[in-house]
Structure 1
Amino acid sequence: MAIELELKLMIQPEHLESASGFLDEICALSTCDEMSRQPTLSLMNAYFDTSEATLMEAGMALRIRAVNDQFIQTVKTRGSNRIGMHARGEWEWIVPNDQLDLSLLTDVPLPDALCDTSWRDQLIEVYRTDFERQVWNIKTATIAMEVVCDQGRVTSPYGEDRICELELELKSGHEMGLYQFALQLADRVPVQVSVVSKAQKGVRLKYGHIEFPDKPNAPATDLALAGYWYEVWLVYWEAMHFMKDDVLIQPVRHSMVQLQAYLPSYLVQELTQLDETFTQCLTVEEHLILKKLSSNRQVGMTMLMIGQWLNEQVI
């Protein structure tokens, strides 16, 4: 079992070339042999659950991935808490074909909700994620990471959604190095922090609702409330683009206002300036608003600065 820790970034398709160019440039300028772009992969993934979403409700994802004439069965579970990051337990096995081998799950500490194993007889393919993956091995002074750029689709009987994202996965070193590198990237390319996984996108197609973080129970610390409003902000931002509805900029801005109450003054100033930028973006023609918002580098920079500060408080 491994703990996968990654920082996920939304990116619009028109900015992918700029992101790839930045990463290629980083590798080309390095004298380190470990810095390189890897061959592009075509990944085909089938996710399994019951019709009642038993695994999803228990915080587990089960899939078969086909890549390079090989099949890999993977289980992912909820991991330790990281604000605005993805930290999950992960188990992988090479299997002979695209059929699940449930006997392998004996190695996985299942959540209590799955101790009754009757769900195993009810598994069906519930959605697919099929995408092209570009891969870079990046090493900085503080960390080694794998940076991937995924572009493709999530599909299910209930519809489909776009995959267009960057993932920075920590391989060694201090996790704050992910934020430091992401800030360099965001200074060049418009990206925004995302807390929505591919699996969550697949589930969302069926149930149609946006998954929000759980609000901390009272009495909650300022840090817990800051983390909550930060992730609410990120969820609304992603939902605005998924639903293609710029009206959601209002709860986006409301979340930012709530978040300000728990941040140091220099980050409050960043949010205030960003809100002023949003006001300017909303003056363009309505059909251009989302493009204007998603092309603004200040959004991602501010998200990353706040995410970095929040995680520094809990490490």
Structure 2
Amino acid sequence: MAIEREIKLALPRDQVDAALRWFETRAGAPGRDVHLENVYFDTPALALARAKSALRLRRTPDGWLQTFKSVGVAKNGLHERHEWEMPVAGEALEIGRLLHECDEAGVATALSGAATDLIPLFRTDFTRTLWTFDVDGARVEASVDLGEVVAEVNGANPETRRAPICEIELELKDGDEAALHTLAAELARALPGLTPDDVSKAQRGYRLREA
């Protein structure tokens, strides 16, 4: 288990190019583009959402990953949550392995109870442009995420619902959390309209289904 700490910032669409230039200038090099396709799973009754957790299968250029997260705490854009992540053989969840690693009783119980009823609920598809910075002795991974959340909603009138993804994430990889706030403050001064965002991509997916 790891504790994920990151600051999420909503990026105005008209500031995307400026944000990319700012990161390139600070890093002295262009970022690395990674395309990420993600499917989020829950039961029809949303057992995992009720347990304040999220389950994701992600396709990366290096293979498939499964990730289980607790919602945790989000305030002023800073997200702190438990995370269990591991590679899987292919496009299928391996719940037994997650249950073996998950050491938080409440969310583990929810995942165990949901295992046989899991269905894909929504997906996210986005390009992540990545940089790694040394900030006051800490290592921070910065990214600009551009894409969309997509939910297929069945019912009397089936429809495909979409919502844009346009955000910056600053994830602490090593060192003091203060580095996140330092880098976020630098960005806020450089990019008008940049605002803290307490809503995760998973939460956006659930809200899209409920809209």
Same fold (TM over 0.5): yes
- Secondary structure of the residue aligned to 1:115 is helix
In the TM superposition, residue 110 of structure 1 has moved relative to its aligned partner by: 4.6
In the TM superposition, residue 118 of structure 1 has moved relative to its aligned partner by: 3.7
Structure label with greater radius of gyration: 1
Name the counterpart of 2:18. Answer: 18
Aligned length: 200
In the TM superposition, residue 101 of structure 1 has moved relative to its aligned partner by: 0.7
Name the counterpart of 1:131. Answer: 126
Name the counterpart of 1:112. Answer: 106
- CA, structure 1 residues 37+172, in 2 after alignment: closer, same or farther (shift >3 Å)? farther
In the TM superposition, residue 42 of structure 1 has moved relative to its aligned partner by: 0.4
Name the counterpart of 1:42. Answer: 35
- Secondary structure of the residue aligned to 2:37 is strand
In the TM superposition, residue 148 of structure 1 has moved relative to its aligned partner by: 0.6
In the TM superposition, residue 3 of structure 1 has moved relative to its aligned partner by: 0.8
Name the counterpart of 1:101. Answer: 94
1:44-83 paired onto structure 2 within 5 Å: 44-79=37-72, 81=73, 83=75
Name the counterpart of 1:155. Answer: 150
Deviation sequence 1:94-117 (CA, Å, 0-9, x none): 111111111112211354376273
State the alpha-carbon separation in 1 of the partners of residues 19 and 107 from structure 2.
41
Is the CA contact 1:37–1:137 (under 8 Å) kept in the aligned structure 2?
Answer: no
Question: Which structure carries more helix by proportion?
Answer: 1
- Choose from 189, 192, 206 the match for 1:203: 206
Question: Structure 2: any 5+ residue segments left out of the alignment?
Answer: 154-160
In the TM superposition, residue 83 of structure 1 has moved relative to its aligned partner by: 3.0
- Secondary structure of the residue aligned to 1:100 is coil
In the TM superposition, residue 196 of structure 1 has moved relative to its aligned partner by: 0.4
User: Which structure ranks higher in relative contact order (CA pairs < 8 Å, sequence separation ≥ 6)?
Assistant: 2
- CA, structure 1 residues 20+157, in 2 after alignment: closer, same or farther (shift >3 Å)? same
What amino acid sits opposite 2:203 in the alignment? Q
- 1:194 maps to 2:197: yes
Identity among equivalent pairs (%)? 34
TM-score relative to the length of structure 2? 0.89
What amino acid sits opposite 2:70 in the alignment? T
- Secondary structure of the residue aligned to 2:184 is helix
Q: Which runs of 4+ in 1 moved over 4 A?
A: none
- Secondary structure of the residue aligned to 1:56 is helix
TM-score relative to the length of structure 1? 0.60
State the alpha-carbon separation in 1 of the partners of residues 105 and 144 from structure 2.
31
State the alpha-carbon separation in 2 of the partners of residues 135 and 72 from structure 1.
18
In the TM superposition, residue 2 of structure 1 has moved relative to its aligned partner by: 1.1
Taking only aligned residues, the RMSD between alpha carbons, in angstroms, comes to 1.7
Question: Structure 1: any 5+ residue segments left out of the alignment?
Answer: 29-35, 209-315
State the alpha-carbon separation in 1 of the partners of residues 83 and 57 from structure 2.
13
- Choose from 172, 176, 181 the match for 1:174: 176
Name the counterpart of 2:158. Answer: none
In the TM superposition, residue 170 of structure 1 has moved relative to its aligned partner by: 0.9
Is the CA contact 1:8–1:165 (under 8 Å) kept in the aligned structure 2?
Answer: yes
State the alpha-carbon separation in 1 of the partners of residues 64 and 107 from structure 2.
28
What amino acid sits opposite 1:119 in the alignment? A
In the TM superposition, residue 69 of structure 1 has moved relative to its aligned partner by: 4.6
1:239-278 paired onto structure 2 within 5 Å: none
State the alpha-carbon separation in 1 of the partners of residues 107 and 79 from structure 2.
22
State the alpha-carbon separation in 2 of the partners of residues 113 and 23 from structure 1.
37
Deviation sequence 1:56-111 (CA, Å, 0-9, x none): 110111111001150001111134x4632100111111111111111112211354
State the alpha-carbon separation in 2 of the partners of residues 93 and 113 from structure 1.
17
